Amino acid sequence: MKILLNQSFKAVELGDINPNTTVLEWLRGNQFVGTKEGCASGDCGACTAVVGELSSINNKTEIQYKTINTCIALAYSLIDKHLITVEGLSEGNKLHPVQKAMVAENGSQCGFCTPGFVMSLFAMYHNEKTVNLPKINEALSGNLCRCTGYKPIISAAFIAFSEKKQESLDFYERNQAQFIESLTQLSGQKNISLNFKDGNKNILFDAPSDIATLSQVLSKNPTANIVAAGTDLNLEITQSMKEFSHIVSVNRVSELKQIDETDTEIKIGAAVSYEEAKSILVKYWPDLDSFLERFASLPIKNWATIGGNIANASPIGDMPPVLIALESKLNLRKGDSSRTIMLEDFFISYKETLLEPSEFIESILIPKPSNQDRLITHKISKRFEDDISAVCMAMNVKSKESIPHSVKIGFGGMSGIPQRAIELEKVFLNNWDKDALVSAAYEALDNEFTPFSDVRASSEYRLKVSAALVKKSSLMLKGIPVEDLAHYSELQSS
């Protein structure tokens, strides 16, 4: 199984490795030790590297560069892709512009986190023509520094871009045509099926390239573990030391990577990443821009898929409550048969869904909004970004002459599943402009939900803050200004 690595135009073999091997383990095992392990959970950014993939933009083939957390990405998920690490930036003794800027601005002290920051700056250097503080903050999101502080690193980003026009093209820009040719040759391989043997261990790995083959593989292997990006599932490998005996990767299935539109709905393939879906989601629901900023760090959004976020059935997943409020549906497939269900019916109990053995999520269907619709989202967490929600709430309001006549509300963190708040919806429509809204909302929530207490929040806190969010939503509908911390970083930079 081959990938492109750093400045080489010749593909390298990943080798006969255990399919449970992460990209980080593979790199460090092959002496690419600039990439560090800090947390093994995608939280600190020390392991950040950049992946290049072929992309068609305006009918022109280009390479799209994106940061990923190598500690929770499987090595075999990079088949046919271009992996760039910190060792691949300099040309002999000549540093890359972002490396030079980091040196000039004293952007490193102990240096442990520095390779991750450098790789995030490298990806931004390729993806952006101009930068500002919000763009830099997003590019560096998920990279934690304990000693240097972020100011010199942010300064390095500005310096690198201020000198970009004066610099000659870097190695990857100068040689993009040759990298495109090499990636095109790699992409010819279709369905992949491997059998790793080590003593008594026999571990299977399948990576189909079309949905029909995926259906066949899962029909024959109903207990196989389906992995898209694995930003959640792979934590069982890195944190719980678990080893999956059969992995079926869906990130090469072309049909699952598509986004389609009709006059009435948006269809998003289950293997579409959050960053890939962002533009169309924000186009129809602009308020999602600030919500997605808080959803996760950029390396996670670059890799994590919408289908995976739904299928793992986490009660604190941020996107399912939003999609429930938007009255989304799921296309499920098993063999040659398909069925469509409401997303709100998909979750049964904690980590249990309606999926049958061999069945998988094919796509998500989202009805398009009308001009009178308003989506309001809230996320309560201890940290502003890159943190798990204590409570996530989404409210989709349909109005006539500024009066709500229909509302759908989804919650995360309030029960063992992402759940629609049907009783609260009725209370909201009857009390949305009344002083009694908070107390009525609290009572409805207390009747409808049994929140748990954990390290993030107590049950009572979750009930009270959710009732307060209902009131905040009503103020927003009335056009009354309320503080939105999701835009705090942008306000600070203006």
pLDDT given for residue 294 in this prediction: 86
Q: Is the pLDDT higher at 55 or at 393?
A: 393
| Nearest alpha carbon to residue 117 among 69, 182, 45 | 45
Rounded to the nearest 5°, which phi and psi values hold at 332? -110, 140
Task: Give pTM, 2 decimals.
Answer: 0.92
Please give the mean pLDDT across all residues of the chain: 93
Is pLDDT above 90 for 488? no
Q: Name the pLDDT band for 494 (thresholds 50, 70, 90).
A: very low
Q: Could you read off the pLDDT of 287-343 as tens digits, one per residue?
A: 899 899 888 999 999 999 999 999 999 998 899 999 999 999 999 999 999 999 999
Q: Would you give the distance in Å from CA 459 to the centre of its chain? A: 28
Q: Name the pLDDT band for 490 (thresholds 50, 70, 90).
A: very low
Domains 2-186 and 192-254 share a fold: no
- CATH architecture of the domain with range 2-186: Roll (3.10)
Yes or no: domain 192-254 corresponds to CATH 3.30.43.10 = yes
Yes or no: domain 258-477 corresponds to CATH 3.40.50.620 = no
Q: What residue ranges do the domains of the chain occupy? A: 2-186, 192-254, 258-477
pLDDT given for residue 101 in this prediction: 96
